[in-house]
């Protein structure tokens, strides 16, 4: 037999015997502790490339939150009527302008 055939037979035998071993593969003793210790010693839990991306996402989130806060404050001020001295809100003024235009165009509807 050639060396390739021997390697093939050895591989097939190991594959056939692989299903008989039902023991779960476990990590070596203390492996997870070493990984956590190395991650803490490096100062980041994520690899460096992911850490930069995470910082970028945090900055974008902070900027979006700031924009949302300013827009919410502006909308609250607009709809609460703060700063308006007149009794009518801008929305009711728009209705009054539209009503006046309709009455002008169709005189028989005017009271």
- Tell me the per-residue pLDDT of 64-91, one tens digit each, with 9 for 90 and over: 999 999 999 999 988 886 555 555 566 6
Q: How does the average pLDDT of the chain come out, rounded?
A: 77
CA atoms of 61 and 49, how far apart (whole Å): 19
**DSSP line for 13-44:** HHHHHHTT--PPP-PPTTHHHHHHHHHHHHT-
CA atoms of 90 and 80, how far apart (whole Å): 11
pTM: 0.34
CA atoms of 9 and 3, how far apart (whole Å): 10
Q: Residue 69 — φ and ψ, nearest 5°?
A: -65, -45
Q: Which of 21-30, 34-43, 96-105 shows the lowest mean pLDDT across its residues? A: 21-30
Is the pLDDT score of 8 beyond 60?
yes
More confident: 39 or 21? 39
User: So what's the pLDDT on residue 69?
Assistant: 95
Interval 99-110 mean pLDDT: 74
CA atoms of 35 and 40, how far apart (whole Å): 9
């Amino acid at each position: 037999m050639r060396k390739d055939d021997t390697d093939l037979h050895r591989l097939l035998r190991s594959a056939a015997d692989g299903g008989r071993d039902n023991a779960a593969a476990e990590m070596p003793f203390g492996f997870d502790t070493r990984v956590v210790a190395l991650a803490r010693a490096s100062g980041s839990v994520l690899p460096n490339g992911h850490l930069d991306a995470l910082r970028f996402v945090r900055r974008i989130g902070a900027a979006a939150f700031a924009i949302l806060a300013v827009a919410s404050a502006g909308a609250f001020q607009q709809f609460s009527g703060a700063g308006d001295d007149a009794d009518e809100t801008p929305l009711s003024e728009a209705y009054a302008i539209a009503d006046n235009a309709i009455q002008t165009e169709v005189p028989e509807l005017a009271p």
